[in-house]
Amino acid sequence: MLFSYVQTKIDYITYNKRIFKNEGDDYRDYSEESKKVIASCAAFAVSIKTVLDTPLLTDDGLLTPESETTLENVQESIEKIK
């Protein structure tokens, strides 16, 4: 599931390049569809950054409470983006 989600977002990034090329760099001029794609990619980037900034394991090798909370929050975010 995660891999297919990431692949979809990579496809969106490729699409973003086309948006920038075809519609320019002024967000106000973008179509509604293009704005949704940009927002989706931005939300995905925030999710990745959150995961990378979260300590995953304790010194004993157990999951940290923060990592469990982050997992739940990222899963909720992914569901909203879909």
* pLDDT digit string, tens, across residues 15-70: 777 888 888 889 899 999 888 888 887 887 887 888 888 888 888 988 888 888 88
Which domain does 39 fall in, by range? 2-81
pTM for this one? 0.60
Q: b or e along 46-65 (b: 16 or more beta carbons within 10 Å of the residue's beta carbon)?
A: ebeeeeeebeeeeeeeeeee
65-81 and 32-53 are packed helices; what angle lies between their axes, rounded to 10 degrees? 170
CA dihedral sign, ordered 17, 21, 27, 30: negative
Number of domains in the chain: 1
